[in-house]
């Protein structure tokens, strides 16, 4: 795989790479099936033994069975006399409805909870205790307000746009993100990449054997 990057036009290397790619895809597909079987067995075992919280394991198994039944096989729908065969993930099937009306709101709710915790943490932890914290606070305020149209409206209402020429707060927010933040992000990316190369060489050269359980 690695050699193919250096000799991209060589048919033998490219063909070998194709074989490896196919193997990779087959392996990860079986890994998914293995994970699924493991999930079912471990939950089934907990239900049978009535372990602590077994009711949740039962809910998972029932949810899995219902979703699997409606989502995986093909379904035949008769509408206005016309027969249509649909996959469980197609719009109009029960599987799709379960996904959009049960899973989607639950999943979105979980993610939306983050907003509440951010607000709480912003109140409890974001204190300007020193100059660095103050700078962080100010840049956060610029990016947060500049990311939404209301920030620009306020900026113009307070005539602050005249301070920055014709630029508005969203321009300032974009500047913070694309210049100083981008530079820092690039430095992090380079550091991570160099670290990965260094680690890979150590593993390939047998210098680091920690993945075998040794030192």
Partner 1 sequence: MNLQNLDRRIIFAVLLIAVASAFLFPRPLHIAVEPPVQMAYDTLNKLQPGDRVLMAFDYGPSTMPELQPAALAILRHCFQRKVKVVFFTLTNEGLPMIADALSQVAVPLDEKENVDYVNLGFKWGGLTGSSVIEGLGSNMQAVFPVTIKGTAYHDVPLLHDVKNFSDFKALISFSAGTPGINEYIQYANARYHIPIVGAVTKVTAPREFPFLNSGQLAGMCAGLVGGAEYEELIDHPGFGMSGLFALSIAHLVVLGCIVAANIIYFFGRRQSSR
Among 78, 83, 110, 207, which residue interacts with partner 1 (rule: CB under 8 A)? 110
Q: Which of 83, 64, 62, 61 is nearest to 74 (CA)?
A: 83
Going along the chain, which residue ranges are E strands? 75-79, 82-86
Q: How many residues bind partner 1 (CB under 8 A)?
A: 60
Nearer to partner 1, 100 or 203 (CB): 100
| Residue in the block written with tokens 């209402």 | 157
Q: Which of 22, 47, 97, 45 is nearest to 67 (CA)?
A: 97
Taking residues 24 to 63 in sequence order and writing x for each that binds partner 1 by CB under 8 A, - otherwise, the string is xx--xx--x-------------------------------
Q: What is the footprint of partner 1 within residues 112-171 (CB under 8 A)?
A: 115-116, 118-120, 122-124, 126-128, 137, 140-141, 144-145, 147-153, 168, 170
Classify residue 198 by its DSSP letter. H
201's CB contacts (< 8 A; 6+ apart) are 207
Min separation Cβ 59 and partner 1, Å: 19
The separation between CA 79 and the C-alpha centre of its own chain, rounded to angstroms, equals 38
Q: Does 191 bind partner 1 (CB under 8 A)?
A: no
Q: Does 211 bind partner 1 (CB under 8 A)?
A: no
Q: Does 94 bind partner 1 (CB under 8 A)?
A: no
């Amino acid at each position: 795989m690695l050699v193919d990057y250096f000799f991209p036009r060589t048919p033998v290397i490219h063909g070998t790479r194709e074989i490896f790619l196919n193997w990779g895809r087959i392996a990860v597909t079986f890994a998914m099936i293995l994970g699924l079987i493991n999930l079912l067995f471990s939950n089934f075992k907990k239900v049978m033994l009535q372990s602590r919280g077994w009711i949740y394991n039962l809910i998972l198994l029932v949810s899995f069975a219902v979703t699997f039944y409606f989502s995986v096989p093909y379904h035949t729908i008769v509408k206005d006399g016309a027969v249509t065969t649909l996959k469980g993930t197609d719009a109009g099937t029960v599987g799709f409805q379960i996904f959009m009306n049960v899973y989607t709101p639950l999943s979105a709710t979980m993610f939306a909870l983050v907003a509440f915790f951010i607000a709480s943490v912003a109140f409890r932890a974001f204190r300007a205790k020193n100059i660095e914290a103050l700078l962080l606070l100010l840049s956060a305020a610029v990016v947060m307000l500049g990311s939404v149209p209301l920030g620009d409206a306020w900026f113009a209402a307070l005539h602050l746009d005249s301070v920055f020429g014709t630029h508005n707060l969203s321009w300032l927010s974009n500047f913070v993100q694309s210049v100083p933040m981008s530079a820092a992000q690039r430095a992090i990316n380079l550091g991570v990449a160099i670290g990965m190369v260094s680690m890979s060489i150590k593993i390939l050269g047998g210098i680091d054997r920690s993945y075998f359980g040794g030192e």
